[in-house]
Amino acid sequence: MPVPRWRRAAIGTAITASAFAGVYLLLSKFAGFGHTWSEIRHANPAWLALGAALELLSLGGYMALFAGVVARGVARIGWWVSVQIPLAGIAALRVLATGGAGGFAVQAWALDRAGMPARTIASRLVTNVVIQYAVYLGALAVCGIGLWTRVLPGGGSFAVTLVPALFAVAVIAGVATLGVLPAAPERWLAAPARDPTWSRQVRRWLLVAYATVRTGVRCALALLARPRPWLLGALVYWGFDVAVLWCAFRAFGEAPAVPVVIAAYFVGTLADLLPFPGGIGGVDGGMIGVLLAFGVPSGRAVVAVLVYRAFSFWLPTLPGVASYFKLRATVRGWQRAARDVAATDAQPLAGPRISSIVEQ
C-alpha cells in the first residue's frame, strides 16, 4: 500500500525540524560560555584546521565501511549513492542521538527503496554495527585496563578506567557468544493453537529478530577473520574522531596524555544513548566529567570538548542534511524508473518491503 504524500512530507519536515532544534540548542549552549568564547578566539588556527580535516577523514572511514559492508552488490547503489546514504544516516545519528536508531531508520529506508530485501538490510546493518563497535569496545577495554594497571600513562580512578573496561569486555563476550549459538529450531515457531494470536506473533518476531541478529554477528566475525581493506574504515572513523579531540586540546596548549583523551572520548560518547538532540548535555557533559576525573583543569576541558563537539556536530550534519534531501530525490528517480518498467512489462514489482514501517 503506497504511503500518502502528506505523510512523506511530514517525515521530511520532522527531520528538518529536528536538525534545526539541534542547531538551536547547540548555539544556545555555546552562547552561555563567555569566557570560553574568549579562549576560542585565541586558539591556534593550524590545530583547528587539522582537526577539521581529520573529522572529514573520519567521515570518509564511515562511508568506506558502509560501502564495503552494507551497500556491496546492490545495482542501484553506485559510489555517489553510497556517499549519500551514510551521510544522511550520520546526520540523523548526530541530530537525534538515540543510540543510532535515527541513522538506522534513514539507511534502512534508502536500502529498501534500492531493492534490498528487508532481512538482508537488517542483517547487514547489524554486521556494520558489530564491526564498527568492535573497535569502540576494544579501545575502551584496552585503554581502561591499561590506565588502571598504570601500564598506560594518565592514571584515573576505578570508576572511569576499569568499570568501563569491564563493561566493554562483557559486551564483546556477549556478542561473540551470540555469533556461535545454534540457529533456533523451526519447531519454536509452532506455538500451541490455544495461545493468543498476539503471543504467537510476538514469538515469531523474537525468533526472526534472533535469526537476523545472529546472521549479522556471524557475518561480522567472518569478515573480521578475513580482513578486507574497507574494514579499516572502522579504525579511521573512530581513530580520526578521537584525534579531533586531541587537536582541540592542542589548539589551546598542551593536551592530556593520549590514553586519557581516548578514555574521555569513549566513556563520554556512551552518553550518546541519551535522547537529546545532537547529544547536547550528554556527550559533551560526559566527556568533560571524565576529563575532570582524570585531573584535567575544568577550563581546558570545557573549551576543548566544545570545540571538538562543534566539529563533530557541524561537519557531518550540514552535508548530511543536504545528502538526505538529495537522497530523497534519488529515491524518487528510482520510483519513476520502476513505474516505467512496470508500465512497460505490465507486471507489478514484488518483494519484501519495509519502507512503510520506516516512514511511519
pLDDT digits (tens, 9 = 90+) for 268-291: 887 665 545 444 556 778 888 899
Among 92-101, 310-319, 333-342, 344-353, the range scoring the smallest mean pLDDT is: 344-353
Task: For residue 292, give its domain range.
Answer: 5-182+214-337
Structural domains in the chain (count):
1
257 in a structural domain: yes
CA–CA distance, 97 with 90 (Å, rounded to integer): 10
203 in a structural domain: no
171 in a structural domain: yes
Give me the pLDDT at residue 78, please: 85
346 in a structural domain: no
CA–CA distance, 134 with 272 (Å, rounded to integer): 17
- Phi/psi of residue 275, nearest 5 degrees: -85, 60
Give 304's contacts (C-beta < 8 A, 6+ positions apart). Answer: 245, 248, 249, 251, 252, 255, 291
253 in a structural domain: yes
197 in a structural domain: no
325 in a structural domain: yes
42 in a structural domain: yes
Among 2-6, 51-55, 235-239, the range scoring the smallest mean pLDDT is: 2-6
Give me the pLDDT at residue 352, please: 52
Over 60: is that where the pLDDT of 17 sits?
no
**How confident is the prediction for the chain on average, in pLDDT?**
80
